[in-house]
Structure 1
Amino acid sequence: MICVVVNNTKDWFFHSPHIKVVSARDYLTKEEYIQDKNIKVFNLCRSYRYQSIGYYVSLLAAARQHRVMPTVATIQEMKTQSVVKVLTADLEDLIRSVLNKTPPSVSQEMKLSGKTVPTFTMRIYFGHTIRKEYERLGQAVFGIFQAPLIKAVFIKPNGHWEVQSIVPISANEIPDDEKMWVVEFADMYFESKSFYHKKRHSAPYDMAILVNPDEKGDAPSNAKALKKFEKTGEEMGFNVEFITKEDYNKLAEFDALFIRETTRVNHHTFRFAQRAEAEGLVVIDDPLSIIRCSNKVYLAELMKRARIPTPKTWILHEDNMERILREVSFPCVMKQPDSSFSRGVVKVEDEAAFLSGSSVSL
């Protein structure tokens, strides 16, 4: 069953054989929606603020094991501008490419730090935009923020377009002249095969393995190892599916995420781990492990406190470089603080190499 949940059923302006329009109160209280686990919920309530009725629709949908859009995790992510900025970092080139190639026809402006800057508002309905020129960008935003109705605001403060905010909107916020498009996009979405996600086998659990096909020699696992992971996972009762960074929007379909791509904090692998953990998946590597294990400064401090024997270690910065140069003996090894798989690791043979390596690292 597909349920579109709204505050008042009059808020939803079209009917489709694919969906059932339900009031939020009925969804939260009626037994038929409490007991049935095979329900897909599209939460279009007027507000998603904390402890509002819209918030509880998404919260209890998760508790009932219903597939819900947006999830509470998505709602929380969209509330915070800094989180939105982090999650859309990978879209920077796409945003500039699309909006520079097809500049918004309607000029809008806003005050930002006392300066007037151009702005552009784009509405995304079930992953689609009214203007086809912006479709690719709309789908990319929808891939990150799985909400049925989205308003994305872009600004151009320094000659380049960037995200200002991305927020979910309710059905009654749709302009009248765009409702016909919403009807079309909703029908397209509900009829699409991708919406009806089916397990490949009858295994009780689904596991995603995040890989980067372009990562060759430095990849954590080669093709042979990945095949073994897949085989072992299936033997243990998992449906195993390999995903890439393009599949961010599919995370909620899985029960576990196994990251077999080189992880970094300022990277999509970290954002995958964060989203998967927020969705309740079992995650390897989890976000905290990525933060800890990819940072040499943290590991050096941890081993020192645990009294684990290690080579003499210095934390190098601009103010202590001359002192360390007097204390260190050659050859020595210089490492970048945030790296993995021997990247940023060099053997330093003499003072000249030390100074050269320091200038690169600092």
Structure 2
Amino acid sequence: MSQTRSTVSSLPPVTQIIIVDRVQGIIAAQPGRLILTPAEYIAGKYAQNHTLDKRQRTINLCNGYGYLSTGYYCSLLADARGQRCTPAVTDVIHAQWKRLHSARFAELTKILNEPEARAALNGADHLDVWFGRAETLVLDPFTRKAFDLFRLPAMRIGFTQSPSGPIVSSVRVMPLQEIADRHAETAFNVALDEFSGSAWSENMRAKPERYWLAILHDPDAEDAPSNAEALENFIRVGRDKGVYVELITRASADSLLEFDALFIRETTAVNDHTYRLAEKAEREGLIVIDDPASIRRCCNKVYLHEAFLAHDIPTPPSEFLYKRERQLPQLGLDDFPLVLKVPDGSFSRGVYKVNSQAEFEDRCAQMFKTTEIVLKQTFMPSDYDWRIVLLGGTPLLACRYHMARGHWQILNHAIVTPQNAVENADDGSFGPVDCVPLDDVPPAILDAAQRAAGLIGDGLYGVDLKEVGGKPFVIEVNDNPNLDAGYEDVLIGDGLYAAIIDYFKARIDAE
């Protein structure tokens, strides 16, 4: 028994299990890479002689994935064993559903007929794609999308020619022997190493832990929740902590399968790509901030209002106005000013102050053109709003967001433009931001913030509160709070980025 223990402990942890129909020299050997036949994998005896890394990835390179075939069973057993497998058993099943292919083929054909792609294809009747990569880099948008749709590690995509250009007509598994026959082993192994992280690990051997984090951002956004310097700080701090951080955009999000986690640094909404990508990442087993549930909950003020009421979270007096009731309440002079909000507004948009019954009715008429429900709240004037940022239920930082000069909100949309859309703009479009040590934040503010964030989840949240008469009033919980270099990181510096990187690492390890 002691001999067995000694043998097991001397081997590096297995980070990749690669299943091939025949053990042959096509797959390059690497530390931590275990190459097995389907019979060996199905038997599961490898686990007696090897230690599996917690984030171990299984890659199923069987020659076929037909129902109840060995390829099917390998992906099925990976799912049963809690292993992250490519292709997953659901992808194997979907690959047999031919009725799905026509829509996917049409989507790929559209990309293929971009001028650069057509020129690169140069009349070929097929293209070999390995882990979303081909030997021609200009075809990356096509190959990444193909891998995203079919999830086949090695596939041959066939084309037919038409007067309007090439049309995707078929996709099939490409056996390893065919890769050997066309002497493409080197290119295939490069694609495998890039996909599995081996290429990056080769260059970073000094660090014992390897994690891959994708940060979704929009470099052209006017109201991005993190500025360019903050994003670079995440990359730099991540590197110091053994985490590979890559900035991706909506256009490059087809590479999600290669990462362990996704951090969304775009303004989120349920009805756009941020929510769809969050759902997709969660389905793939990635750790996600913002997760879909947090987006759904935080992006709708109707949900927040009801949740706050149900759990006795202090919030400004509020009520719903319904479009179908048609009759608006007649308010007295003491009721004004008041605030009207659309349920899914963000970044201070869709929030209006009205000062009279006439303004109230006019504004409601405009808002009811796009929403069935309007939230009416008592106006609580203050010089600043508290923003408490929490991570995993623990306060991370605190800021006071002061009102824009001469305005009742922290952002004056009447004068903000793409040219001045930065915090603390000199023209008064933004109010000043000052960070406050957590020890100096009133305990009641911290307590209310923690209780409110706890209703949403255990991710990253920014809770906005007003302090009136020494009492806290929660305004809302934001699922993607601003984390800008030079603002939110003023007091804790790199501690801000390190805390978030560490959070992702801990969540990944716990899976």
Q: Tell me the TM-score normalized by structure 2.
A: 0.47
Which residue number corresponds to residue 351 of structure 1?
361
Q: Is the 8 A contact 1:207 1:254 kept in 2?
A: yes
Range that drifts further, 237-246 or 16-25? 16-25
3-state SS of the aligned residue for 2:243? strand
Which residue number corresponds to residue 57 of structure 1?
74
In structure 2, how many angstroms separate the alpha carbons of the residues matched to 1:198 and 1:228?
19
Q: 1:217 to 1:242 in 2, by over 3 A?
A: same
Q: 1:181 to 1:18 in 2, by over 3 A?
A: closer
Which residue number corresponds to residue 59 of structure 2?
41
3-state SS of the aligned residue for 2:369? helix
Q: Is the 8 A contact 1:125 1:186 kept in 2?
A: no
Q: Which amino acid aligns with 2:62?
A: L
Matches within 5 A, 1:74-113: 74-75=91-92, 96=110, 98=112
Q: 1:41 to 1:231 in 2, by over 3 A?
A: closer
Q: Which amino acid aligns with 1:188?
A: A
Show CA shifts across 1:291-339 (max 9, x none): 211122222221232233333231544x23x223656966544434334
Fraction of identical pairs, as percent? 29
Q: 1:241 to 1:133 in 2, by over 3 A?
A: closer
3-state SS of the aligned residue for 2:65? coil
Q: 1:238 to 1:129 in 2, by over 3 A?
A: closer
Matches within 5 A, 1:1-362: 3-6=18-21, 16=26, 18=28, 23-29=37-43, 31-32=45-46, 35-36=49-50, 37=52, 41-44=59-62, 46-47=64-65, 53-61=70-78, 68-72=85-89, 74-75=91-92, 96=110, 98=112, 125-126=129-130, 127=132, 136-143=141-148, 145-149=150-154, 169-170=172-173, 183=182, 188-192=187-191, 194-195=194-195, 196-199=198-201, 200=204, 202-230=207-235, 233=238, 237-245=241-249, 246-308=251-313, 309-314=315-320, 316-317=322-323, 319-320=324-325, 322-324=326-328, 326=330, 331-348=337-354, 349-361=359-371
Q: 1:122 to 1:258 in 2, by over 3 A?
A: same
Larger Rg: 2
3-state SS of the aligned residue for 1:359? coil
Q: Is the 8 A contact 1:129 1:135 kept in 2?
A: yes
In structure 1, how many angstroms separate the alpha carbons of the residues matched to 2:232 and 2:138?
40
Q: 1:218 to 1:228 in 2, by over 3 A?
A: same
Q: 1:99 to 1:256 in 2, by over 3 A?
A: closer
Q: 1:16 to 1:79 in 2, by over 3 A?
A: closer
Which residue number corresponds to residue 116 of structure 1?
none
In structure 1, how many angstroms separate the alpha carbons of the residues matched to 2:129 and 2:298?
40
Q: Which amino acid aligns with 1:206?
A: Y
Note the residue ranges of structure 2 that are not aligned, 5 or more in a row: 1-15, 119-124, 160-167, 373-511
Q: Tell me the TM-score normalized by structure 1.
A: 0.63
Between the two proteins, the alignment pairs up a number of residues equal to 321
Structure 1 residue 198 displacement after superposition: 2.4
In structure 1, how many angstroms separate the alpha carbons of the residues matched to 2:153 and 2:181?
10
Range that drifts further, 131-140 or 299-308? 131-140
In structure 2, how many angstroms separate the alpha carbons of the residues matched to 1:336 and 1:82?
41
